[in-house]
Amino acid sequence: MRRLLSMLAVLGVVAAACSAGPEPSSNDVGAGDDPAATEQDDAGVDAPDPQEDADDPLADAIRTQSFGCVEDSFYWEVDTCQPATLIDLDEIIAGGPPPDGIPPIDDPAFESVEAADEWLTDDSPVMVVDVDDDVRAYPLAILTWHEIVNDTVGGVPLVVSYCPLCNSALVFDRRIDGPDGEEVLDFGTSGRLYLSNLVMYDRQHRNLWTQFEGQGVVGERFLGERLDRVPAWLFGFGELAELHPDAQVLSRDTGASRPYGTNPYVGYDTEGRAPFLFRGEIDDRESAMARMVGLADGDDAVAVLLDRLVEDRVVTVDVADRPIAVVWAPGQSSALDTEVIDDGRDVGQTAAFVAALDGEPIELEPTDEDRRFRDARSGSTFDLRGRALDGPLEGRHLEAVAHDDTFWFVWAAFKPQTEVVAS
């Protein structure tokens, strides 16, 4: 019963995330409503029932497959009254807020690492993106409350996305080839979930996209199309500051009033807990909430369990006939553990690289330094960005591979054919 009430509290928090309109805020931890306190207070939770949405035109459209036929007063629609779909519309469920109720950031403001150091700690989780040496960091203290940032990095239009329920921090190129040539899409939060994962929509055509795969799943225009993935890393802020002291960090100046730095999903990533609003079968090979690193290329998929990574620090696997080195180092707080994100337990930082340079194998192994790895062949030492710091390979970079720091339940749901590397 307590678990049910706790999850209802989370739903109430998700709904509350959309209730405050843009207004000035100090954005200090604990400013405004305290979502973590709501999460922990089982008594008096006034959480909406996700099924009580009979008056919601979008929900009705999903149920009746009448997209584009809803009343003109409601702005949501897709291309046609009989939409093309890749998935069963009944599996797209209400998460609580309406479309863009969890407000995307469309005009992001940034600050220096030095300025961000005033409010972030070394272990504060940040999502790092690097395009042509334009390095941006997006603190999960902010992304937890917005989930999507439409940004341009290194001249490339990107959608930076984070789904707290899946701990999936993914970046995609917003450019896509449409029937009339290349388009640049802007993305919003639909207020819907599929397999507990954020469902995005593009504002140009109102097609629905799964965040986990960047794939169009409802709407004829982009049905089955996939956005190009851009590598990103979940690091601690201290690691960012050391590796990229000139990086730009997303500012709390978002135009919205949210208690940045607090976690509305207290204890969500506890192993043994059930995932929230997940309507699917749990693959019983591993615990649903087990943390892992996922790698995929076409039909090939490999899941490396975090327990194994913590134990070995380097795990090399083959994905689509390519050797990929996955590395782990301590230094990042869980964003889904404690009331204050920075107090979360250390879940570490991961990265993945092609384990070769110029066709020659690279055999990474741990060193005595937590965040350094040595190539057993050349003796060169590499950092978490795959940069050789010394030895014959000094100055060279390993090719980064897009990887997923996520939970087993959602990875296995989207990649049921996955191999597993466990302890």
- Rounded average pLDDT over 72-89: 59
CATH architecture for the domain at 291-421: 3-layer Sandwich (2.102)
78's CB contacts (< 8 A; 6+ apart) are: 67, 68, 205, 206, 207, 208, 218, 219
Contact 10, 165 (CB under 8 A): no
359's CB contacts (< 8 A; 6+ apart) are: none
Q: How confident is the model at residue 220, as a pLDDT?
A: 86
Cα-flanking dihedrals φ and ψ of residue 317, to 5°? -130, 165
3-class DSSP assignment, residue 341: helix
List, in sequence order, every residue forming a beta bridge with 184; answer none if it has no partner: 175
Q: What is the mean pLDDT of the chain?
A: 86
What is residue 399's DSSP assignment? P
Domain ranges of the chain: 2-250, 291-421
Q: How confident is the model at residue 59, as a pLDDT?
A: 53
- Chain segment 250-278, per-residue pLDDT in tens: 999 999 999 999 999 999 999 899 999 99
Residue 386 has pLDDT above 50, yes or no: yes
Cα-flanking dihedrals φ and ψ of residue 85, to 5°? -140, 150
Q: How far apart, in whole angstroms, are the C-alpha atoms of residue 269 and residue 166?
A: 9
- Rounded average pLDDT over 122-133: 98
Residue 62 has pLDDT above 80, yes or no: no
At 101, list the tokens.
Answer: 């109720």
- Give the model's confidence band at 84: pLDDT under 50 very low, under 70 low, under 90 confident, else very high: confident
384's CB contacts (< 8 A; 6+ apart) are: 233, 235, 239, 243, 327, 329, 349, 351, 371
Cα torsion 105, 145, 164, 116 to 10°: value is: 80
Cα within 13 Å of Cα(76), Cβ side: 22
pTM of the model: 0.85
Pairing of strands 300-305, 419-421: parallel
Q: How confident is the model at residue 90, as a pLDDT?
A: 86
Rg of the chain taking only CA atoms, in angstroms? 21
- Rounded average pLDDT over 64-74: 43
- Chain segment 176-201, per-residue pLDDT in tens: 998 889 999 999 999 999 999 999 99
- Chain segment 295-323, per-residue pLDDT in tens: 999 999 999 999 999 999 999 999 999 99
Beta strands in 185-232 (DSSP E): 187-194, 197-202, 208-210, 215-218, 229-230
- Give the model's confidence band at 174: pLDDT under 50 very low, under 70 low, under 90 confident, else very high: very high
Cα torsion 168, 170, 174, 177 to 10°: value is: -90
Residue 44 has pLDDT above 60, yes or no: no
- Give the model's confidence band at 56: pLDDT under 50 very low, under 70 low, under 90 confident, else very high: low
At 262, list the tokens.
Answer: 């607090």
